[in-house]
Structure 1
Amino acid sequence: MNIKAVIFDCDGTLVDSEVLANQVLVEYAREYGLNMPVNEAIELYTGCKMADCIADLEYRLGRKLPDHFVTTLRERTLKAFESRLKPVEGALNLIKNMRLPYFVASSGPRVKIENSLRITGLLPYFSSSQIFSSYEIGHWKPDPRIYLEVAREIKVEPSLCSVVEDSLPGIKAGIGAGMKTFAFGNASRLTEELSQAIAIGHLSELESLFTQGDAKF
């Protein structure tokens, strides 16, 4: 199988943001009376649509959160990112040496994606046309349509695209799009439903595939 294009997730795949973002979330939610361990938030919310995260928080609280909650959360998260966000180990080297066309597709808003890439030193390697946001498409992972939209825009058949994802919703989206999907992180998460994904423990494992012309599997 030939691979003609690679689509990366952002949070948790290129930028090491999941723990940091969820720390900010649980600290802010605590101000409204909800005590949740960070590891539980990571398990529940990684890769999920913000609206779904808020709905779950409200269910646990038993009441609505104020309208400004998401805006304030994003402001606090950006402040934490500005001082503490780092690229995932191996991400910068991999992106700098890519020889295949590559893109990033995230469930977050474009401004969040661009800020994360900027802070971690990755943004110079991405043009605006290489960045895709679920907020602009209107569909969020695990719906595969964000990945299918990337394939449509770049005029490459989905079967000739590869996805690199860390979250379960993202892995499901990649598989659902019919793309060769690499699951970055703990391989034990890959249940029968996700068995088509290829587990990788470090981004360096992709260097021999994506840094030399067409990738073949």
Structure 2
Amino acid sequence: MRYDLVIFDNDGVLVDSEPISNALLAAYLTELGHPTSYEDSLRDYMGAAMHRVHDLVLERTGRRLPEDFDDVFHRRVFAAFERELRPVPGAVEMLEKLTADGVPYCVASSGSHERIRVGHRTTGLDRWFDDARIFSSQDVGRGKPAPDLFLHAAASMGVAPERCAVVEDSPLGVRAAVAAGMDVYGFTAMTPAERLAQATALFADMSRLPDLLA
């Protein structure tokens, strides 16, 4: 293995949450008078922390979202997760292989700690990620595309940035990994390859990742 640490994004990489959360986000923004399609949501918000939603709506419309926006949105998302959320195809097999090979890994997500844990618990991925392996944009001042979250995860795990590989499916996440000085593997199952063109390598099948990293 040429890396000392593999850092995973969570939504869309480990748990198949992007279709669920972006459909709900588009519907909620539209309900509040900010017409947003599913495709708009994927383009503008996929891989981003919640403050980006607030910032873009304010910038575009001059209107602030309601104070309880995040709470209402997360209640809807968590309820949908309980009903519908599954691991990304191939993710369990990939984690089994990395574990068997003794490769250290962690997750660094734009989502809140609660969102990460709800997703892992619902899909059974919690067996692979204890608290010491979970990092959220809540832990740093700036979310992706700033490098802060990935640098924080690497430092916490005791690994130099240049010895890390990041696995991402969003353009914001790829930009953050590049800014952190890390190799980044772009997962194209849901994201057009050209939107992840800055990545070190691209792949569409999660079960292929251990061979790519090796």
Shared fold, TM over 0.5: yes
Query: Which secondary structure state, in structure 1, belongs to the residue aligned with residue 57 of structure 2?
Result: helix
In structure 1, the partner of 2:120 is: 117
**Cα distance between partner residues in 2 of 1:29 and 1:139:** 23
In structure 2, the partner of 1:190 is: 196
Deviation at 1:152, TM superposition (A): 1.2
In structure 2, the partner of 1:151 is: 154
In structure 2, the partner of 1:178 is: 181
Percent same amino acid at aligned positions?
Answer: 38
Query: Which secondary structure state, in structure 2, belongs to the residue aligned with residue 12 of structure 1?
Result: coil
Q: Does structure 2 retain, via aligned residues, the 8 Å contact 1:34–1:60?
A: no
The code of the aligned residue for 1:6 comes to V
Q: Does structure 1 retain, via aligned residues, the 8 Å contact 2:169–2:187?
A: yes
In structure 2, the partner of 1:108 is: 111
Instruction: Give the 5 Å matches for 1:150-169.
Output: 150-169=153-172
Deviation at 1:51, TM superposition (A): 1.2
In structure 2, the partner of 1:81 is: 81
Deviation at 1:71, TM superposition (A): 0.7
Deviation at 1:209, TM superposition (A): 4.7
Q: Does structure 1 retain, via aligned residues, the 8 Å contact 2:9–2:107?
A: yes
Deviations 1:28-81 (A, max 9, x none): 222222322111111111011211112323445542222111110111111111
In structure 2, the partner of 1:6 is: 6
Query: Which secondary structure state, in structure 2, belongs to the residue aligned with residue 78 of structure 1?
Result: helix
Query: Which secondary structure state, in structure 2, belongs to the residue aligned with residue 2 of structure 1?
Result: coil
Q: Give the length in aligned residue pairs.
A: 208
Q: Does structure 2 retain, via aligned residues, the 8 Å contact 1:190–1:197?
A: no
In structure 2, the partner of 1:28 is: 28
Name which of structure 1's ranges 181-190 and 166-175 shifts more when overlaid on structure 2: 181-190
| 5+ long unaligned stretches in structure 2 | none
Instruction: Say yes or no: does 1:53 pair with 2:53.
Output: yes
- The runs of 4+ residues in structure 1 deviating greater than 3 Å are 58-62
Query: Which secondary structure state, in structure 1, belongs to the residue aligned with residue 132 of structure 2?
Result: helix
Query: Which secondary structure state, in structure 1, belongs to the residue aligned with residue 202 of structure 2?
Result: strand
CA root-mean-square deviation: 1.7
Deviations 1:112-150 (A, max 9, x none): 111111111111111100001110122211111211112
Deviations 1:131-174 (A, max 9, x none): 01110122211111211112111211111111100011111111
**Cα distance between partner residues in 2 of 1:104 and 1:18:** 16
Q: Does structure 2 retain, via aligned residues, the 8 Å contact 1:171–1:197?
A: no
**Cα distance between partner residues in 1 of 2:70 and 2:23:** 15
